[in-house]
Amino acid sequence: MTAIPQGRTRRAALLSATCALVVTGAALTGCSSEDPDAGTNGVGKLAPDKIQSQTRTAARSARAVRLSGTVATSGRTYTLDMRLKEDGGTGSVTSKGATFRLLRVGEQLYLKAGADFWNHADGSDGNAAAAGKLDGKYVKVPTGDPAYKKFSGFTDMDLLLDGLLTLHGELARDGHYEQSGVRTIRITGDKGSGGTLDVSLEGKPYPLRLVRAGDAGTLRFSDWGKDFSVSEPAKGDTVDYGKQLPTS
């Protein structure tokens, strides 16, 4: 019997011990022959530009989605929790400590907020009577009103997704991750400075988490394809302001 060199035995033992360690929930690279893309939709094996293309296609084909997180735009940060579909959307928006609800049914947009929101939006504290009439009511937002342009985008699924699901700069894959128990492949733009996007490796390649470029917010996507209903609020809960809305 040929003797195994002692050095080789020590190296084998060291490798075995090292491969037993776990770093941040994942086995050390090279210690396992398991294919991280086994049993997945195969998107993780594609070039990063193909991954981005396929996730945008999947998002466009979905009937509905829930979007939550933060968006920084025009010098303000908004915290969103919206459910969106082709013909409408509903949910809450928070900015500068004020929370209001948005509801869009077809082309008609409604904004619902408390009296404090309307007082602040008016720019003074002296319009308590008007603010009281709007308190807790769904206020119709005229399509030509600046508030319509400002807030309707938060309820427009196609417009919002098209504007968000693009990374900037050179694309690259950044490994396999997990979002809410779902395996993902992460792609980056310019090593992360152009944003990062986690794409589902299970089922359709939907985007699940987006970190926007330039610290412009982080968003999570869920409930892809889960339909919901939007309907006009009751007349007793609706106010037609009749002129340009006060907005902060």
What is the reported pLDDT for 201? 98
What is the reported pLDDT for 153? 92
| Mean pLDDT of all residues belonging to the chain | 84
For residue 77, which amino acid is it? T
Asked if residue 123 has pLDDT above 90, the reply is: no
pLDDT in tens, 47-71: 999 999 999 999 999 999 999 999 9
Three-class secondary structure assignment of 171-211: EEEEEEEEECCEEEEEEEEHHHCCCEEEEECCCCCCEEEEE
d(C-alpha 107, C-alpha 7), whole Å = 75
pLDDT in tens, 180-193: 999 999 999 999 99
Q: For residue 138, give the nearest of 235, 230, 248 by alpha carbon.
A: 235
Asked if residue 151 has pLDDT above 80, the reply is: yes
More confident residue, 203 or 130: 203
Asked if residue 80 has pLDDT above 80, the reply is: yes
pLDDT in tens, 9-57: 454 454 444 444 434 334 334 455 688 999 999 999 999 999 999 999 9
pLDDT-derived band at 240 (thresholds 50, 70, 90) equals confident
pLDDT-derived band at 135 (thresholds 50, 70, 90) equals confident
Interval 195-211 mean pLDDT: 98
Interval 84-104 mean pLDDT: 94
* Domains of the chain by residue range: 43-61+168-222, 65-161+235-240
Reported pTM: 0.80
